[in-house]
Structure 1
Amino acid sequence: LWTVLVLVTVIAVAVGSWWVASGRYGEVPQVLGQDITGARSAVEQAGFTSTVSKIWSDDDPADAVTGTDPETGERVVRGSEVAVLVSKGQPPVPEPSDSDTLASYQAKLQDRSLTWTVSADVWDDDAPAGVVAKVSPTSGTTVDTGTEVTVQVSKGPRPVKVPGVSGMTEKKATQTLENAGLKVSGTTEAFDADVDGGDVISTDPDTDTEVPSGSEVRLVISSAVTVPDLSGKSMEDAAEALRDAGLNPVTGEAVSDTDEDAGKVAETSPSSGTRLDPSRNTTVTLHPSDQVKVPFVIGKTAKDARKDLEKEGFEVKIDGRSGGRVISQSPGPRTRVTEGTTVTLRTI
């Protein structure tokens, strides 16, 4: 019995020593040239648990089995996990996302077995400050593993000064601002006695304010209405023109110191060219002329001359023969005088 027990103990110790020393280990099999399914089967038949790990490779096409981890031939405890390495091909330079900081983009490069160098920060209208703006080689380019990618971080949009557009039309001001890299967000109306209606008074932000490129600028547009030049127009036409301009016409006293004919507009109050605030004052007074031209009657008979003058509203005085011909007149021909003025005719 003791002999049997000693033999069993010796055998158990020998087997245990063998198992601890080498029996529990298996050799990782060769899987090159196999497809993924075959490679995993070979690993499992060797007594291991198989997984798949994809890696970037300069030498093997995508989806080709490139080896194992641990490597082929290594002795590993049976039941351990052995990864079948599958090629993803050469890595492309990753595309920076809208939120990629330097650190997050470096992690992407590292994941693709790429290295990096950081260059000077750049102004960029599309990338916010602090995110990756540019990379070289350009994103999407297929490169060797270990390739160095130059990374530049955005400083945000380049600052620009708001250009002066006061006095410009809205269209021209908009074009000027857009050429400077800014956007017109809308308009606000205000009155300015020095700026024609529809033209730009100012901007918000103000001229020469430094703002990021792409910023929005609001235009302040003049609401002024300019009194038009109505001299020589009939009172009816002048009133209509004022109403069309948004102004309120009223008739004032006639004026004599004018070159316009009677009934025509001689002057306005406020005068033409004055800019009015349509929210406060829209009344324009029309002053007609009371002056008429003295007709040319020299050479006519006194009778015919009287008839022509009285038709135009003049009083007539004959100096000479009432049946004679007119040799002069006072006031002279085509002189402008007040209606009802007496014209003296000298006859022979």
Structure 2
Amino acid sequence: MQEKVSDSLVGSLVDNRYRVNSKLARGGMSTVYLATDQRLDRDVALKVLHPHLVNDGNFLDRLAREARSAAKLSHPHVVGVLDQGHDGRTAYLVMEYIKGHTLRDVINERGALSPRLALALIDPVVEGLGAAHDAGLIHRDVKPENVLIAENGRIKIGDFGLARAVTTTTTTGTLIGTVAYLSPELVLGKPADARSDIYSTGIMLYEMLTGQQPFDGEVPIQVAYQHVNSTVAPPSGLVPGLAEEVDELVQWCTANDPDKRPVDGNALLSELRHIRTNLSDAELDLQPPAALHAATAAGAAGATGLHPARPGIAAPPAPVRLPSAAAPGSHTEVLSPVEGPGVQRPTEVISHTSNPTTMFPARQLPAKFGFDADADADETGSRSAAPAAYGDGGQSQRPLSKREQRKQDRVDERARSRAAATPLRTLREGNARRRGVLWIVILVIAALLATGAGWFFGMGPGSPGTVPAVANRTVAEAQQLLQGAGFQSSTQDVFDDDIRAGLVVGSDPEAGTEIRKYQQVSLFVSKGPQLFPLPQLPGKSLDAAKEALSGAEMALGKVTEKFDEEAPAGTVLAQSPAAGTQVRHGTPVSLTVSKGPQPIPVPDVRGEEQGAAFRAIEAAGLVAVVADETVNDRKVPKGAVVKQEPASGTLTRGATVTLTISAGPKLVKVPNYIGEQVADAREALEKRGFEVRVNNILGGFFGTVRDQDPVDVEVPEGSVVTLTVV
């Protein structure tokens, strides 16, 4: 019985995009939900990783890289990876949602499959693996649970990328796959390649043909040991009459030495299709013994007992039609829904277009393959018409050709060889008293087993219990709580930004989950926040410093600007905390950034004596330079500054100010205008730059210049010339 447990993630919105609708399944690494992508309005499968994986930053980086690699693979038989992200404490993968059921459901329902159906189901799986191997991807966890069968019959293999990301991070090493399908090299901790996927595929094909896995044991380590030290037996040991080519195919895939297996999925696909094309209809449609159907269809999901009912599939799988794509003749086999009260399984009819005269219901195979022809009669009491070549005494509808006869002879010879190796004596023969004692012993053992099972699952380690809440408790307190609830526990140290070091962060399974008491509970113990060194920022530009902080997952704190005479504007001068300081992710880092050299106002020294001008400029932090040439200026005395460049504005410290020194007024000779009319004399003198003053005597009645001062000498330009007029 599957207990229902509430899940806080159901109904929430992950990463502002994925609305979680319901929980589909829970595994060792993640929980799978049915979600709706609100941006694209489509259903997706949302795989949310368990919290202890989310706390490992290195794992999240690897997961992102693997998800990107898997997303590049687009193939009709591979479940597409659509997105990957990290929303707070939720790390997730978004994958294509396949509505339907899994290959595990088919095996659990039907048990052993006919070779035709088994090879048809495995063909798209191998094709998808071949495409992945060409792209450099290795699955590492091929198993029936990861083979999805959509309602329209399309078959896809899923979970690429996640297995590799976990194996490179967790302490479980390479033993991340389901133990029943692990290759020997993965058990031994050696690197995996495409041939590891081939081994798992061979184990899966063996299970499809026989209804059971080749190795079993009470604990997983026993199964792992057999993968390394035992050889997979040919499936014909359980299915008499199985073609030798199928035996060889299974044993080729499951060779202990990887060098003796197909190199990749494409190599296996070529051989698989060659076998499907060349096997006879009788070999392809061989029905496994009824005992295999009875033993496996009742829920024997593998000898290891590691296959619980898959959550998320509330109804029986719908019928699926699988075409035999590789065979030259058209062929369809129908998988019926799960049988139940009042439901009759429809007869599987297999039509053989390659030999239209050889037609019979799939369940009614001749007695030479181990079936009772009388028991397989149809409802009207008639028998299926099978050719005489099959040895049932029926009438052939046409004679066999020589080639068909030789092929049939090989089939008969294989059947005779297997029949000769089968003992004819049974428990029905012998001493009746001995048989009675044997039956008593069997019944006593069965009663003891039933009693033990009742105690185990009722009050013992197999009874259900609820995982208590252990967060924020010491390890001793948490272990005591778990022990009181009947659980054994283990501890694993993790970083946590919120829980103090030494206290329990949480558990796996989570608090409130109902599990069997023999299942171990993992306690995640806080090591405190994970600390990281701050990068060296001084000397970088502000943009480069921001990028470095983002890459180190730190925050930008307060930015202060100051003038600096050496560092260009925008350069980081200092940081706080200092580089190399161990801090948490998200710690704000304050920066001091240069505004460049401080600007200095240029002093105006025009008109000042040269020495005083030099002192004023140097006091401001600037350098004064005298121009090579002097200039005459009637207003600026000789030796004073008549011009400067620049005359205003700002400069940086050490910049140059050029000063032009005055040579004083220009000397001009004063002409003699005595005897001239005053108006003419005034005009001529003013044109030469002189200032003219007139001194009239007796009113200056005649307007004649009687005297002039100065006259006939050189005087500074702009000097005053006095004219005496009569």
Q: Same fold (TM over 0.5)?
A: no
The TM-score range, normalised by the shorter chain, is 0.3 to 0.5
Q: Which protein is richer in strand relative to its size?
A: 1
Q: Which protein is richer in helix relative to its size?
A: 2
| TM-score, normalised relative to structure 2 | 0.19
Q: Which structure has the larger Rg over C-alpha atoms?
A: 1
| TM-score, normalised relative to structure 1 | 0.37
